[in-house]
Each structure stands twice: as C-alpha cells, then as structure tokens.
Amino acid sequence: MAQHSTKIRLLNAAEQLFAREGFHNTSLRSLASLAEANLAATNYHFGSKEALLKAVIERRLLPLNQIRETEIEKVLSQARESNIPPTADALLRAFIEPTLEFRNSSSGARDFISLIGRSLNEPDETVRNCFLSLILPIFQVLLEGLREALPQLPQKILLTRLEFIMGTMSHVMCMSSHSILNSPSLTEALEQNELIQQLLKFVLAGLEAPE
C-alpha cells in the first residue's frame, strides 16, 4: 500500500512540476520533495525520468482515448447498421465532447492540459513526441471515420483541415479561461455545453467547406 501511495504521489508531483516548470527544468530532487519520497524513488518505481513522463501522460490520455474511441465506434457501427456513411458532425462530436469534458474530470486535469499545451510550444520535443505517439492511434481512428464521411475531400485537404481542428481544440483547452474575450467588459464566458456546441459548429463548417 505504501509503495502504491508513493507511486501515485510521484505521478501527481511530476504532473504539477512538469506543467509549471517544464520537463527538463524539473529536478528529481524537487520531484521527490513534493512527493514526500526519497530521492531514489523515481528510479525505483519508473526506471527513469523519461519513463515517469510517459506514465504521467498515459495515466490521463489512455483512458480519454478509450472513451473517444468507444464513442467514435458507436457512430461508425450505427452508420453501418443503417447502411449509410457516418456524418462528420457525429464523428467530431464523439471526439470533441469527451475532450472538453476532460478539463473538469479531476483535480489534476488542468495541470495535464498545461503540460501538453506547454510541450506544443517548446523547442524541446521530449514531451511533445511522447504525447503525439500516444494520441496517434485515436487520431487515425477519427481520420478513417472522416474519410468515410467526406469521401469527396482529397486526403491532403482532410488532413490539413483536421490539423486546423486540433489547433482550435488546443486553444480552447489551454486558453479559454484566459482569453481576453472572456473579459466581463467584452462578453460573458460560455458555459461548458454551449462552448462545445459553438466549437462543433465552427470546426464542422471549416471541415465540410468546398475545396
């Protein structure tokens, strides 16, 4: 039980420090201190700092990927049963809704989002490469579904627009609570459900636009 508790504390501490200080700027000593563990605990439980990083990302991302894949597969199964193509709207909803709902799923979700957002803008690729390797499978599932939904779009156009969608989602995930547009003098922030609806309308219009 004590070992399990130490491992969880190390994961929580790493998530916080990697998000706030950066992966390379976080020392094993500071990790151990925040986790209230001894200095050798990281290597004992994970083998290396890089393995700890992967465990931090997997802990949040793999369950989220499973939810998104399940929802996408529901859309595809219903389309096959009806002998019609899936709709881009339903596929995007299956991907986007769980992603935005994840922000409020746990006390550590915000730190995880900050960690990933930080990695997308830093020159060092350690965190980014780990994240991308783990998100690629669900990205491919979504892409294959969208190919069925939008067969008229050439693959390079579909991929490019999907990149735009991911960029938009990244902004919403990382910046929606800090945007200048959320200033009371400009507008009121949207509630979660309305934010999801507006995001879906926005990205769907771009995805389905003529070439």
Q: Residue 186: pLDDT above 70?
A: no
Residue 44 lies in a domain: no
The CATH number of the domain holding residue 87 is 1.10.357.10
Share of the chain above pLDDT 70, in %: 91
156 or 107, greater pLDDT: 156
Whether the Cβ atoms of residue 167 and residue 159 lie closer than 8 Å to each other = no
**Of 136 and 2, the one with more pLDDT:** 136
Could you tell me if residue 52 is inside a domain?
no
Asked if residue 27 belongs to a domain, the reply is no
Tokens of 103: 């922000």
Helix (H) / strand (E) containing 7: helix 2-21
**Residue 1: which pLDDT band, with cuts at 50, 70 and 90?**
very low
How many structural domains compose the chain? Answer: 1
Span 82-138, pLDDT tens digits: 999 999 999 999 999 999 999 888 878 999 999 998 888 888 899 999 999 999 999
User: What is the rounded distance in angstroms from the CA atom of residue 136 to the CA atom of residue 74?
Assistant: 20
pLDDT, mean of residues 170-175: 82
In a domain, 8, yes or no: no
Whether residue 34 is contained in a domain is answered as no
Instruction: Enumerate residues 6+ apart whose C-beta is below 8 A from 104.
Output: 192
Q: Residue 190: its pLDDT value, please? A: 75
Average pLDDT, the chain: 90
pLDDT at res. 124: 84
The domain of 160 spans: 57-207
Tokens of 43: 């290597």
Query: What is the three-state SS of 55-87?
Result: HHHHHHHHHHHHHHHHHHHHHHHHHHHCCCCCC
Q: Global pTM?
A: 0.88
Flag whether 39 is in a domain: no
**Which helix (DSSP H) or strand (DSSP E) does residue 184 occupy?**
none
- Contact between 101 and 173 under an 8 Å Cβ cutoff? The reply is no
26, part of any domain: no
Answer yes or no: is 40 within a domain. no
Does residue 202 have a pLDDT over 60? yes
For tokens 């219903």, what's the residue? 78
Which string of DSSP letters, residue by residue, matches 148-170?
A: HH-TTS-HHHHHHHHHHHHHHHH
CA 5 to each of CA 36, 47, 81, 88: distance values in angstroms, whole numbers, following the listed order:
10, 17, 46, 43
The DSSP call for residue 150 is -
The stretch 50-75 carries a mean pLDDT of: 96
